[in-house]
Chain A
Amino acid sequence: GAVVSQHPSWVICKSGTSVKIECRSLDFQATTMFWYRQFPKQSLMLMATSNEGSKATYEQGVEKDKFLINHASLTLSTLTVTSAHPEDSSFYICSAREVPVRISGTPTAPFISPFFGPGTRLTVL
């Protein structure tokens, strides 16, 4: 199946520094990638939708100036946590959805499930 990677897998940083997390689709192209945040023992909360070549769409309550998202190519999206603070410590997970190819004669393109990366554990001291 398709593979999504994240780098780094874990990072520890000092308060006030910025941290960049990469999300890559390794064997497929993804026009859209998603960034989620997961607190301990809780569910995933969608932070933003990353669109290749355009601005990201942020969910309500997510500070776009704090969580900078760049989707420069069809295989790479980055999330930068700027001026990180201890409350930003969390597990960040990205997902990517392959661009579906519509087959001639069919009314719609097939649905392809998004694939999730392994996550990045961020600890801000």
Chain B
Amino acid sequence: AQSVTQLGSHVSVSEGALVLLRCNYSSSVPPYLFWYVQYPNQGLQLLLKYTTGATLVKGINGFEAEFKKSETSFHLTKPSAHMSDAADYFCAVSDRAKGAQKLVFGQGTRLTINP
């Protein structure tokens, strides 16, 4: 069974500082990987995804993530945090062998930006 672990339920950084949100997955085969952002009382918005090809994936709002097979990781980064980045972030994995139908989510990381 697939699983996702997000290290750190809360991450706090200063405005302008580097954002690093960690995600490790467990899967018997290379999966599809996703990062979603959720603002209060809203649904999820896709930030970026890895399916195949280049392992460094660029997403919206200046975020990017790198798929590292050897480390089974898909950490999310942003060079310079903005106040509007404060939200909950979820890493998710999907089994490509099964048509990537279901998403298994990590427990989420709440990002706080300090002025």
Instruction: Let me know if B7 is at the binding interface, CB within 8 A.
Output: no
On chain B, the residues within 8 Å of A114 by CB distance are 103
Q: With A43-B90, A43-B106, A111-B32 given, is the CB distance from A118 to B101 under 8 Å?
A: no
Chain A residue with minimal CB distance to B46? A113
Q: With A34-B102, A42-B108, A97-B101 given, is the CB distance from A116 to B36 under 8 Å?
A: yes
Q: Is the CB of B107 within 8 A of A93?
A: no
Interface size class of A (residues with CB under 8 A): 20 to 34
Q: Is the CB of A117 within 8 A of B32?
A: no
Chain A positions 31 through 42: 1 when the CB is less than 8 Å from some CB of chain B, otherwise 0: 010100000011
Instruction: Let me know if B42 is at the binding interface, CB within 8 A.
Output: yes
On chain B, the residues within 8 Å of A121 by CB distance are 41
Chain A residue with minimal CB distance to B92? A44
Interface size class of B (residues with CB under 8 A): 20 to 34
Q: Is the CB of B102 within 8 A of A93?
A: no
Chain A residues within 8 Å of B, Cβ to Cβ: 4, 6, 32, 34, 41-46, 49, 91, 93, 95, 97, 111, 113-119, 121
On chain A, the residues within 8 Å of B106 by CB distance are 43
Q: Is the CB of A113 within 8 A of B49?
A: yes
Q: With A116-B43, A119-B41, A119-B42 given, is the CB distance from A44 to B105 under 8 Å?
A: yes
Q: Is the CB of B103 within 8 A of A93?
A: no
| 7 shortest interchain CB distances as A-B pairs | A116-B44, A116-B43, A118-B43, A43-B105, A43-B107, A119-B43, A44-B105
On chain B, the residues within 8 Å of A97 by CB distance are 101
Picked from B34, B51, B102, B110, the residue with its CB within 8 Å of the CB of A46 is: B102
Q: With A43-B90, A44-B90 given, is the CB distance from A118 to B42 under 8 Å?
A: yes
On chain A, the residues within 8 Å of B101 by CB distance are 32, 49, 97
**Smallest CB separation, A38 vs chain B (Å):** 9
Instruction: Let me know if B100 is at the binding interface, CB within 8 A.
Output: yes
On chain B, the residues within 8 Å of A44 by CB distance are 44, 90, 103, 105
On chain B, the residues within 8 Å of A32 by CB distance are 101
CA gap between A115 and B41 in the complex, in Å: 16
